Amino acid sequence: MKLSGALAVSGLVTSAWAAPYRKGAEFLGKRQGPIASDGTEIDNSAIPFQPVGPIGSSGNQDAGQYTLAPGQEEDADLGLYLDLSENPNPQAIRGQNGGIVSGPRNEEYQRLNPDLLARPGTDMGSVANAKWPMGLSSARSGTGGGNPGWARQQNTNELPIATEMAGVNMHLGPNAYRELHWHSANEWAYIFSGSTRISAVNQNGETFLDDLQAGDLWFFPAGVPHSIQASPEGVEFLLIFNQGDFSEDATDLVSELFARNPKEVLAKNFQVDVSVFKDIPTEQRYIFTGSPYKGTTEEARKEVDGPAGPLPANESYSYHLSAQAPYTVPGGSVKIVDPTTFPIANNFSAALFTVEPGAMREIHWHLTSDEWNFLIQGQGRVTVFQGPQASRTFDFTAGDVGYIPVADSHYIENTGNETLVYLEVLQAPRYIDISAAQWLGLTPGQVVKDTLNVPQSFIDTLPKTKRYIVPGNPNHLTTNFTVANYPNAKFNATSAQVNTTSI
């Protein structure tokens, strides 16, 4: 089963939830036999079993009739990725660990989450849930006709561990607006598809307007009022806020500002007759269809130019990440952006990774910030390690949010057959991490040997530079990843030195 895109995840999960449980009927549906006059039950062994309720589409497989996925019989500590996407009756078996599933279950969930169903033998202890599928978030609809769009969010209500950041996925239809508004949190945005025009005014009366496309960013500081309008092709984007409990339903809207103040006060404030406000909205507009925006970017900027002039270029609220060349390494690429390159985005640092099939974002951790991530394309898995001895492996598909606490080590492995694309976001003035491989490569070899009981040949392969991504093999049964197997995967010690301010 192949999934791509947040909508695919949403549709799959929704349909899976809608399906009745056939396995559940087995435990609920045995009929009681007739009752004799003395109160005893008459033997009903001749009466055939009849499950209660309709037969659904989930859980109807006989627990004794199953086929294990490739690698499922291997030692559990190997932790091979188990592709259960086409398995009609997935089981919680890994090597000699686990066992069959004979009770109620939702097979679609099990196929989507093989590392939760049959977890690697190395998983142990208690680790908080680190994943939320955005497809399970309720989508708030725009109103007023014309299919203006929708928005859905993830905050601590959905993912309690995500205390420092929250996310919103929003779609605006052709020419639709996200109403003029402001909020108490900083807003960092990445555009998935389409194009948009954004505008804002800061506390000095300096104006800002820009036209952006897929792959670009914007940032609005807390309290700065702004607007977002889709082009005729529409736009979809991701918003990240620096408050874990941020709610998209609690922003300050201009329609509410006008509706919640006396009209006499409005007339006095704007120095007009009160009749001007006879048709103002009585309810918030939020997302609604508007007229196409006019003119070129430069023409539109001239229209909003005021006495204070435009926002200085080094304080721009937008960053054209789509025009930034990626830093390419064997197995994928990365684009890094932080306040050293996008100065206004105070304390927001991010990396956009592409990871080829079988490759992996190397094991690493962040020094000062939790990591909020979003899977844009493909599928992968992540093991979160929390010292001293707890770990949990999670499976991700497009549209999933991940959250990893500061200093917890993790990786993301591409487990699919297409390029994995995902975004890492930190609350940090620079994008920084610790590479496990580089750390050991720069530690005296004897210390590593004595501690881990590994051969000198392992010490000799350790890199002294940060690799970000390591290549792999799309064959999930591969266990030998020596450089000899990947002749094009050798790292050049000079070219691998990366200045994050330039990528």
What HEC string does 422-445 produce? EEEEEECCCCCCEEHHHHHHCCCH
Clarify whether residues 96 and 170 are in a common domain. Answer: no
For residues 6 and 25, what is the distance between their CA atoms, to the nearest angstrom? Answer: 32
Give the per-residue pLDDT at 444. 98
Give the per-residue pLDDT at 491. 43
Range of the domain at 202: 137-319
Bridge partners, 188 (sequence order): 219, 240
Residue 163 and residue 210 in contact, taking contact as beta carbons nearer than 8 Å: no
The HSE-up count of residue 106 (CA atoms within 13 Å, CB side) is 13
Clarify whether residues 295 and 330 are in a common domain. Answer: no
Provide φ and ψ at 235, rounded to 5°: -155, 145
Instruction: Please report, for residues 170, 180, 255, 271, 280, the alpha-carbon distance to residue 263 in angstroms, rounded to integers and kept in the order given.
Output: 32, 19, 13, 12, 10
Clarify whether residues 24 and 99 are in a common domain. Answer: yes
Amino acid at 374: F
Residue 225 lies in a domain: yes
Residue 369 lies in a domain: yes
Clarify whether residues 343 and 490 are in a common domain. Answer: yes
Q: What is the 3-state secondary structure (H, E, C) of 268-296?
A: HHHCCCHHHHCCCCCCCCCEEECCCCCCC
For residues 193 and 391, what is the distance between their CA atoms, to the nearest angstrom? Answer: 35
Residue where one domain finishes, among candidates 94, 122, 150: 122
For residues 133 and 19, what is the distance between their CA atoms, to the nearest angstrom? Answer: 19
Give the per-residue pLDDT at 38. 58
Clarify whether residues 205 and 223 are in a common domain. Answer: yes
Give the per-residue pLDDT at 499. 40
Residue 502 lies in a domain: no
Residue 465 lies in a domain: yes
Residue 132 lies in a domain: no
Clarify whether residues 32 and 117 are in a common domain. Answer: yes
For residues 242 and 223, what is the distance between their CA atoms, to the nearest angstrom? Answer: 13
For residues 62 and 3, what is the distance between their CA atoms, to the nearest angstrom? Answer: 27
Query: Rounded to two decimals, what is the model's pTM?
Result: 0.85
Residue 127 lies in a domain: no
Residue carrying the six token digits 């937008």: 318
Residue 76 CA to its chain's centroid (Å): 28
* CATH classification at residue 397: 2.60.120.10
Clarify whether residues 205 and 294 are in a common domain. Answer: yes
Give the per-residue pLDDT at 484. 57
- Taking only the tens of pLDDT, the chain with its 503 residues reads 333 443 333 333 333 333 333 333 333 333 344 444 555 554 544 444 333 333 334 555 555 689 999 999 999 999 999 999 999 999 999 999 999 999 999 999 999 999 999 999 999 999 999 999 999 999 999 999 999 999 999 999 999 999 999 999 999 999 999 999 999 999 999 999 999 999 999 999 999 999 999 999 999 999 999 999 999 999 999 999 999 999 999 999 999 999 999 999 999 999 999 999 999 999 999 999 999 999 999 999 999 999 999 999 999 999 999 999 999 999 999 999 999 999 999 999 999 999 999 999 999 999 999 999 999 999 999 999 999 999 999 999 999 999 999 999 999 999 999 999 999 999 999 999 999 999 999 999 999 999 999 999 999 999 999 999 999 999 999 999 987 565 555 443 333 334 444 34
The binding site for Mn(2+) consists of: 181, 183, 187, 226, 364, 366, 371, 410
- 132's tokens: 């939320």
Clarify whether residues 425 and 394 are in a common domain. Answer: yes
Clarify whether residues 329 and 315 are in a common domain. Answer: no
Clarify whether residues 466 and 342 are in a common domain. Answer: yes
Quick one: 490 exposed, middle or buried, by C-beta within 10 A (0-12, 13-18, 19+)? exposed
Residue where one domain finishes, among candidates 297, 319, 341: 319
Clarify whether residues 230 and 118 are in a common domain. Answer: no
Number of domains in the chain: 3
Residue 503 lies in a domain: no
Active site residue 424: yes
Residue 381 and residue 472 in contact, taking contact as beta carbons nearer than 8 Å: no
Residue where one domain finishes, among candidates 122, 157, 191: 122
Tell me: cis bond preceding 388? Omega within 30 of 0 counts.
yes
Residue 496 and residue 468 in contact, taking contact as beta carbons nearer than 8 Å: no
The binding site consists of: 181, 183, 187, 226, 364, 366, 371, 410
Clarify whether residues 207 and 83 are in a common domain. Answer: no
Give the per-residue pLDDT at 155. 99
Residue 128 lies in a domain: no
